[in-house]
Amino acid sequence: MKDSARKAMYANKYKEKNGTYYDKETPDNIVNIIENARLNGHRLQIHYGDKNTGVDWGDANYPHPKYNDGSTVSGTIGRSTGTQKIPLIIKSRRSMGGEGLLDSSIVKIRHSGKGGYVLYQHPKYKYESK
């Protein structure tokens, strides 16, 4: 399949930046942060949650069935191989691959370096510890 045909096929579900495919509903500012981290090798701390309400899935009052033990992942950003490359979270330098990033469910992104400053936070972000 030619690249132009592949791009047309994925255009309804995904957006593409620098050869990496993101869910179409992922805000552009999140895509830009993730791509910058991927290209520069920055470590991120990513919080998953409800993209409509901003509630963190680690919130004690609104637990998510799959992520009720914590909603935060940390690592550098890589990407999968194949024709449709998706962002991956790589836990450490010794890791051989990683898990797919749930980019459309990100409610907060922090830099994992010194200071851990916030790069993105959902406008309605909410978290209550357990």
Residue extents of the structural domains in the chain = 13-121
Closest CA to 128 of 79, 78, 60, 47: 60
- Res 41 pLDDT > 70: yes
- Res 75 pLDDT > 50: yes
Residue with more model confidence, 4 or 70: 4
DSSP β-bridge partners for residue 56: 49
Measured CA to CA in angstroms, residue 2 lies from 16, 50, 55 at distances of 16, 36, 41
For position 82, what pLDDT does the model report?
87
* DSSP secondary structure code for residue 103 in this structure: G
What pTM was computed for the model? 0.82
- Res 130 pLDDT > 60: no
- Res 21 pLDDT > 70: yes
